[in-house]
Amino acid sequence: MNSDHNSSSLGLTRRQFAQALGLAGAFGLVETQTIIRALAESKRNLAYLANRTAGAEGSWELKKIEGKMPKALNGALIRTAPGQKEIFGVKLRHLFDGDAFLSRYTFREGRVSLTARFLDTPQRLEELSLKRMLYTEAGTLAPPPPEGYKPKHGGKNQPSVNIIRWDGRFLGLSEGGHPTAIDAKTLGYQGEWDFYGTLPKDVPFTAHPKFDPQTGEGYAYGVQRGMSLALNIFRMERDGKLKKLYTLPQRNYFMIHDMLLAREHLIFVIPPVYFDFARMMRGERAAPFDLIKYSDKMPTRLLIVRKDGSGKPITVEQPAGMVFHNGNAFEQNGKLVIDSILSPDDSVMKSVASWGADQPAQASPNHLTRLAIDPASGSVVNRTELESEVEFPRFDERRIGADARYLYTVGWGKGAAGTDTLVKHDLRQGKSQRAQIGKARTYGEPVFAPHPGQNSEDRGWLLAQGYDGERDESFLEIRDAGTMEVEARVWTGQHFPLGFHGNFYAD
């Protein structure tokens, strides 16, 4: 059954069609699986189902496994995601909206268990106690609070973009403020984290720090709120503190989502996407992402600094475009080589902003692009588009800063419309290998887990959380990173939102 054709022929919108199916199911006229299949036939609806409000919290020993779990895979995959798409009757509009939902898959000698739960931040607990949305999300304004009630906190900073292990705890990350400290055992909320007082109060922290595999040190950044709008760049020291390397004033409060780390340099790909402070100064009431502007008259800038904090920054201009994520970077024959996923315009921003609409905006095809930069002349000497319509690049992070051969992504399609492919890119031979997930399924980000004792960068596994629309169930897929064949598919018996990022940590 083609849901688009049938719904339009009846004069119904997709949402009305879904509601009609739901009512039919409630009265026993249509089986639940038929409803799910009808909704899943549309890629847009499949993406919606895959990222809607989490269906359960708890801990489970997962025993329904297709294939065989590799016994050499021991450790934990920890992920965070926006965990809900409605707060007490208020529908959340943006893909980034929703309280943080954590999931940890633990692997032990061929067995796998799962703990999944919302992170009980003070703001979440306050809203639960009042049974009311009190705090504005990334793309959805909160209604006015009850008369005479003043919310207890300044706002919400959802740690729902990425999660890392650092200094004996997990840190939940976004770009809205400081990291959130999370208990490594219980996944319980501990509080905001300022790295022992070394992260200034007015500097938020990136969702994408990078870690030097040679030293174990991390590198991070944040754009300072205030008149300077300075890009603050830090080294994350082994004692848990931050050391500031640079304070670089910017013309606007630019959205810098990711960075690259080479052996000697840090590279920032800065798109012409920034917050409209004029609207904020006028006191306009708007959600943060409603204040974002894109200018095709401004360049995308490549900002290059030395990671030891010495020397002057180098800026290289490129055509305007949008970028969320980068791959790897390395130095070769005096040139810097970087891999980045570049979009020609801001349509991907409109796509994620309209994610919950009946007809979400379509994103222009993006391109996995390799740039060779000459720091001496401040110019790009070569630009090669390697692949189109991919996202969430990951690789063997033991190769950060080196010439990594393989990069793994998902097939991105039309932005937020859903992903049904894993792609292995051979960057040296210019080839790619695609693994299809199957009908009515969609993937999240693939995370590389190295095989213990093996140094080859495709000797390991890809760990990808997915969603099956016919079963309305989440699963975790373990694929051999070399062959791209499925070794095990672990069914959770529940539905959890796919979200954006996570990391694997070996025992």
Average pLDDT of the segment spanning 71-86: 97
pLDDT at 35: 47
Average pLDDT of the segment spanning 29-55: 64
Question: Total domain count for the chain?
Answer: 2
Q: Are 361 and 289 in contact (CB under 8 A)?
A: no
Q: Are 18 and 41 in contact (CB under 8 A)?
A: no
156 and 31 part of one domain: no
pLDDT at 18: 47
Nearest C-alpha neighbor of 340 from the set 208, 443, 442: 208
Q: Report how far apart, in Å, the C-alpha atoms of 358 and of each of 13, 94, 417 are.
A: 7, 13, 12
pLDDT tens-digit series, residues 382-404: 999 999 999 999 999 999 999 99
pLDDT of residue 487 exceeding 80: yes
479 and 489 part of one domain: yes
34 and 46 part of one domain: no
pLDDT tens-digit series, residues 243-295: 999 999 999 999 999 999 999 999 999 999 999 877 767 777 889 999 999 99
Residues in a beta bridge with 461: 449, 480
Cα 360 from Cα 62, distance rounded (Å): 35
pLDDT of residue 15 exceeding 50: no
Strand 231-236 versus strand 242-248 pairing type: antiparallel
3 and 112 part of one domain: no
57 and 32 part of one domain: no
pLDDT at 438: 79
341 and 456 part of one domain: yes
Average pLDDT score over the chain: 90
Average pLDDT of the segment spanning 321-343: 97
Question: The pTM is what?
Answer: 0.90
Structural domain harbouring 24: 1-41
Q: What is the pLDDT confidence band of residue 418, given thresholds at 50, 70 and 90? A: low
393 and 488 part of one domain: yes
Cα 363 from Cα 344, distance rounded (Å): 10
pLDDT tens-digit series, residues 227-247: 889 999 999 999 999 999 999
111 and 1 part of one domain: no
Percent of all residues in the chain with a pLDDT value above 70, rounded to a whole number: 90
Cα 317 from Cα 29, distance rounded (Å): 60
275 and 411 part of one domain: yes
Average pLDDT of the segment spanning 1-7: 36
297 and 390 part of one domain: yes
pLDDT of residue 37 exceeding 50: no
443 and 294 part of one domain: yes
Give 418 or 5, the one with higher predicted confidence: 418
Could you tell me the CATH number of the domain that includes residue 437? 2.130.10.10
SS3 category, 31? coil
Average pLDDT of the segment spanning 410-436: 83
Q: What is the pLDDT confidence band of residue 437, given thresholds at 50, 70 and 90? A: confident
Structure tokens at 439: 């009908």
pLDDT at 457: 92
Cα 325 from Cα 430, distance rounded (Å): 20
Q: Report how far apart, in Å, the C-alpha atoms of 80 and of each of 38, 77, 176, 276 are.
A: 29, 10, 15, 29
Percent of all residues in the chain with a pLDDT value above 90, rounded to a whole number: 81
5 and 68 part of one domain: no
* Residue labelled with tokens 């690789």: 395
Q: What is the pLDDT confidence band of residue 226, given thresholds at 50, 70 and 90? A: confident
